[in-house]
Structures are given as structure tokens and as C-alpha cells.
Amino acid sequence: MARPIAREAAMQLIFEQLFGGEGETQALVDLIDYEPSDNDRAYIDTVVAGVKEHAADLDAEIAACLRGWTLARLSRVDLAILRLSAYEMKYASLPAAVSINEAVELTRKYSSESSCPFVNGVLGTISRKLAANA
């Protein structure tokens, strides 16, 4: 499968974790009939586990970039997408432009068109902060 599909699957598992789910790849097979390739499974497992492990740090990065918002006010879909992209940029060395573009596409599909500029802005700020600290 293409990486955007694996990224979408990872976002769904991160979203599931926000509601107390385990976020296991087997849920993809059970719930949405998606059987990832070995390569995609490795990516999904790494990203989902990494987001869970670094959730507090990722949330601090996101919260520091919110203007007039708090994490508690964010939709869970937007939070899952922001965590995924922030993780990719900070820990997976994915180019910021790729991660942000994919995050905006996920936002367009799962959240709302009006959330796209918000997600783009928050992730752009995170990207600039990471670049400045590199």
C-alpha cells in the first residue's frame, strides 16, 4: 500500500487511543478491512507507538503553538492528526512539507475544510520551531 494509506491508518489508530483503545494494527483488519504490508505495518506500529510514548511532549509542542485555543478545545480528529504530523517531523525525520501536506489532506477528509488552515498553521509553526532548534 502507498504511504498515505498507511499514514491514514496510523491516524485512525492514534484517534482510537484518544478514546482508550489499544491502537493495535489488528484493529485495522477487524474494523476497516485493511491488511497492511509488512513495510506499512512497521511504519504504522512505529508511529502509533511513538505517538503514544511521546504524547506529553507532542501535546506540549502543539499547545505552545495554539493561539486562543487549548488542547481540550481541539476536536479529537484534529488532535490525532496534529500528534501524528508533529511526531513525523520531530522523531521520524520526515520532511516537514510532506508531513504537513499529508496532515492537511487527512484534515480535509476526516475533519472539516475550516480546520485545514488551522492544522496547517499549527504544524507550520512547529516545523519552524524544530528547524530553528536543529
pTM of the shown model: 0.91
Q: Which stretch of DSSP H or E encloses residue 63?
A: helix 55-64
Binned at pLDDT 50, 70 and 90, residue 24 comes out as: low
* Higher-confidence position of 8 and 100: 100
The total domain count for the chain is: 1
Q: Give the residue numbers spanning the domain of 20.
A: 3-133
- The enclosing domain of 66 has a CATH number of 1.10.940.10
The widest CA-to-CA distance across the chain, in whole angstroms, is: 42
Binned at pLDDT 50, 70 and 90, residue 22 comes out as: low
| Averaged confidence pLDDT in the chain | 89
**C-alpha span between 101 and 71 (Å, rounded):** 22
Q: In this model, does residue 10 exceed pLDDT 60?
A: yes
